[in-house]
Structure 1
Amino acid sequence: MSNVFDILKERGFIAQATHEDEIQQLLGKEPITFYVGFDPTADSLHVGHFLQLMVMSHMQKAGHIPIFLAGGGTAMIGDPSGKTDMRKMMTPETIQHNVDCFMEQTKRFLDFSENKGITVNNADWLMSLNYIPFIREIGKHFSVNRMLTAECFKSRMEKGLSFLEFNYMIMQSYDFLELFRRHNCRLQLGGDDQWSNIIAGTDLIRRVEGESAYGMTFTLLTTSEGKKMGKTESGAIWLDPNKTSPFDFYQYWRNVGDADVRKCLCLLTFLSMEEINRLATLEGSEINQAKETLAFEVTSLVHGEEEARRAQEAARALFSKGALGGSFPSTELPKSEFIDGIDVLTLLTKLQLASSRGEGRRLVQQGGISINDEKIVEIEAVINQSSFLEDDTLMIKKGKKVYHQVRLV
């Protein structure tokens, strides 16, 4: 049986490891318990989380036991890693709602039956800590001088790092210690921006328990130019179909840059390396076959095969000879609203294709809006019933890749 460490390395997941040889031996020897933490800063997981879930899934398929940790306690503070500003404070009710959403979503990707996986919420132990005993037992192991050299704090020093955020590293380290004590968890995984927090946790276990613990970080999902993937003009690419429709999700991966196709196939699908290498050699217009495969595979994993097929058929219909049809985002509006007509800026904001009339005006002026394949050039343009096709539908195109259908009812 191949060692999962070798699989992760070959597919390009691993960025840093505390003890590479020891981790490789550990993963090849026996089932081990490992954890990844997810701070519930929204009510849905996003594409950045999906990469981490893929690693957890590879590990679980190899017989290891994942702990999905929802940061209900750490979210009360906010992780300063990779942030130049302090995170917005959330109410305990919002945090709990987000934790519930995360827990439900993750069941799609990991098996938590019969002790195959574990879900925990760090609020269960962090919220009941007594400050003085905690600082006496745990705080004494942390050097402020060393903490200030950590990458996660450096970027915040210019604008000011609050004492609240300064506690985050200690809290995350304590999570690792708690999971070590409760579940014999010896390995923490996370994005590469978590490196400082992870090594602080391995160090705490060594100091307090005198035992070895390990950490490993994965590559962040970036384009060949180093830009973070999973973001669009309208925000993050969410795993919740109500926040990012399966069609929009499919289209995002169908439109990745040629240079990023191989990396995405390696990190975000379970296709064999043999098949990935074959697809990666395709050139010219044939690269679209690889992009279609990528989009279909990732959408299948997140939304199921049926939704992926519907999205694929809709995308093909949309781009073949200008035919319009399929399951791309659509909105039903009453015919009565179009008797006197609706101006284009109102319609764009109503459909959330523009966040304001000002943004809608800029889109029209820059030639970024077409209706039924005709570019809109006037910001005063009015859309009425005669603008619709015979089947009472109208297709709005924003930029090169965003489509939205309006249906009269």
Structure 2
Amino acid sequence: MNALLEDLKWRGLIAHSTDLDALGAHLDEGSVKFYVGFDPTAKSVHTGNLVQILLAKRLQEAGHQPFMLVGGATGLIGDPKESGERVMNSKELVHEWVEQIRGQVSRFLSFEGSNAATMVNNYDWTAQMSVLDFLRDVGKHFPVNRMLARDVVARRLEAGISYTEFSYVLLQSMDYRELNRRHGITLQTGGSDQWGNIAAGVELIRRSDQKRVHAMATPLLTKADGTKFGKTESGTVWLDPELTSPYAMYQFFLNAEDAKVIDYLKVFSFRGREEIEALQQATIEAPFRREAQRALADDVTDLVHGKGEREAVVAASAALFGRGELQSLSDQTLSSVAREVGGGTFEGDATVVDALVAAGVVDSKGAARRAIGEGGAYLNNERIEDPELVLTPEQLLHGRFAVLRRGRKTVGIAERV
């Protein structure tokens, strides 16, 4: 088998493919043009999309040429989902999201050299197409009985599915054919939840243009209990730092389960097989050290937010629990950490007891006083001695933040307003 495919298979990145042997032979012939698509159904991509972005990066580093499609047209329709009809967002909002996602995706790839990446938008070839041309040129190649047999469509039939969402597969299939015609693209990648759409594109090209092209899909990542990876109690883990802070992303990957962390490392890290297998052994022998989790959190945060941000959140995490200097943390870092660890606000003339309650580390002023009396309450990592201490800007980080801690593990941040 082709060496690249061998590595992808070892990393667990191949769930479906048209013909792996044929694809391997095609990759061996030279630089292959491939594409992966992202629909702008939100202002940001998330960790599930990151799997596809990093797969594209791996393919590019192996010498192949990526075309990254952001679906200004398909994003106006929406792929059918099992829970029901999607909300139809306005064209203006979708086009705004297209530009935001283009900017996010492009940061991971190289746009220089012989296999430079290219960004494309399916709105460019879809918007001016007439309904008659679409039905005659695309629709005639899609047997309705096969469309009805698609899993998500079959499950939606009883409750009802609009013709708009039912026809989504035609639009995505047309994308593959159009990119093959325009740019000579011969490989599409995506998630396994898109396999029906991807395979339909391969079939459309075979039926209409009598050409053989290739496709490959990655598995959906799950947690040990089988639930979807990339979700937290507060929602999706986004790549946009305004939606998911670098601190929150780092903590999310740092908390990966022992049973799954090596699987995630293979997918999200560019470490080699020998190093990952060493981390696997370390997880077996000394799971409490969480070496694999730290490697995973480091690598993902470096890729998404940069090494500087990662170092800042590592320093913040240590400093919150008394193992580093809080004074060295920037205002921006403290603001993002405050959003994650929780807390509230206090007035300008508040005492440290008020701040302890506002930060959420105790339930009441009485509990705050008891914690102080027992020597277990800390303000900015300094033990609190006087419960009547009034907090002034000089005693706060950047003049407004108070990091309150009870014992070793209960931390909150209160902000002076």
- TM class by shorter-chain length? 0.7 to 0.9
Change (3 A) 1:12 1:63: same
Aligned to 1:104: 103
Amino acid at match of 2:26: L
Matched residues in 1 for 2:196 and 2:180: separation?
A: 19
Aligned to 2:142: 142
Is the contact between residue 16 and residue 192 of structure 2 (CA under 8 Å) also seen in structure 1?
A: yes
Matched residues in 2 for 1:8 and 1:401: separation?
A: 40
Considering only aligned residues, what root-mean-square deviation do their CA atoms show, in Å? 3.4
Amino acid at match of 2:110: D
Paired residue secondary structure (1:375): coil
Q: Alpha-carbon deviations, 1:67-110, whole Å to 9, x = none?
A: 10001001111111x43211111111111111101111112101
| 1:188 CA drift (Å) | 0.9
Matched residues in 1 for 2:245 and 2:82: separation?
A: 28
Matched residues in 2 for 1:202 and 1:385: separation?
A: 72
Whether 1:375 and 2:353 are equivalent positions in the alignment is: no
Aligned to 1:188: 188
Matched residues in 2 for 1:290 and 1:252: separation?
A: 13
Equivalent residue runs for 1:156-175 within 5 Å: 156-175=156-175
Whether 1:12 and 2:12 are equivalent positions in the alignment is: yes
How many residue pairs were aligned?
Answer: 382
Matched residues in 2 for 1:111 and 1:129: separation?
A: 32
Change (3 A) 1:407 1:8: same
Aligned to 2:84: 85
Aligned to 2:64: 64
Matched residues in 2 for 1:25 and 1:121: separation?
A: 29
Aligned to 2:53: 53
Aligned to 1:313: 315
Aligned to 1:355: none
Paired residue secondary structure (2:259): helix
Change (3 A) 1:137 1:396: farther
Q: Alpha-carbon deviations, 1:37-56, whole Å to 9, x = none?
A: 10011111111111111100
Change (3 A) 1:295 1:212: same
Change (3 A) 1:269 1:404: farther
Aligned to 1:362: none
Aligned to 2:382: none
| 1:273 CA drift (Å) | 1.1
- Is the radius of gyration larger for structure 1 or structure 2? 2
Matched residues in 2 for 1:107 and 1:403: separation?
A: 37
Amino acid at match of 1:104: G
Matched residues in 1 for 2:388 and 2:116: separation?
A: 57
Is the contact between residue 73 and residue 126 of structure 1 (CA under 8 Å) also seen in structure 2?
A: yes
Change (3 A) 1:166 1:370: farther
Paired residue secondary structure (1:258): coil
Matched residues in 2 for 1:183 and 1:50: separation?
A: 24
Is the contact between residue 335 and residue 385 of structure 1 (CA under 8 Å) also seen in structure 2?
A: no
Whether 1:118 and 2:105 are equivalent positions in the alignment is: no
Matched residues in 2 for 1:335 and 1:30: separation?
A: 60
Aligned to 1:290: 292
Q: Alpha-carbon deviations, 1:345-393, whole Å to 9, x = none?
A: xx9xxxxxxxxxxxxxxxxxxxxx9866833269xx9xx9968694363
Matched residues in 1 for 2:411 and 2:153: separation?
A: 41
Change (3 A) 1:280 1:174: same
Aligned to 1:154: 154
Matched residues in 2 for 1:205 and 1:44: separation?
A: 31
| 1:298 CA drift (Å) | 0.6
Is the contact between residue 34 and residue 187 of structure 1 (CA under 8 Å) also seen in structure 2?
A: yes
Is the contact between residue 268 and residue 300 of structure 2 (CA under 8 Å) also seen in structure 1?
A: yes
Paired residue secondary structure (1:202): helix
Matched residues in 1 for 2:390 and 2:266: separation?
A: 45
Matched residues in 2 for 1:219 and 1:401: separation?
A: 36
Amino acid at match of 2:316: A
Amino acid at match of 1:239: L
Is the contact between residue 360 and residue 412 of structure 2 (CA under 8 Å) also seen in structure 1?
A: no
Change (3 A) 1:59 1:385: farther
Matched residues in 2 for 1:402 and 1:152: separation?
A: 45
Matched residues in 2 for 1:57 and 1:221: separation?
A: 18
Change (3 A) 1:338 1:270: same
Equivalent residue runs for 1:115-264 within 5 Å: 116-264=116-264
Bigger mean CA offset, 309-318 vs 319-328 = 319-328
If the length of structure 2 is used for normalisation, what is the TM-score?
0.82
Matched residues in 2 for 1:334 and 1:402: separation?
A: 15
Matched residues in 1 for 2:409 and 2:193: separation?
A: 31
Is the contact between residue 330 and residue 406 of structure 1 (CA under 8 Å) also seen in structure 2?
A: no
Paired residue secondary structure (1:243): coil
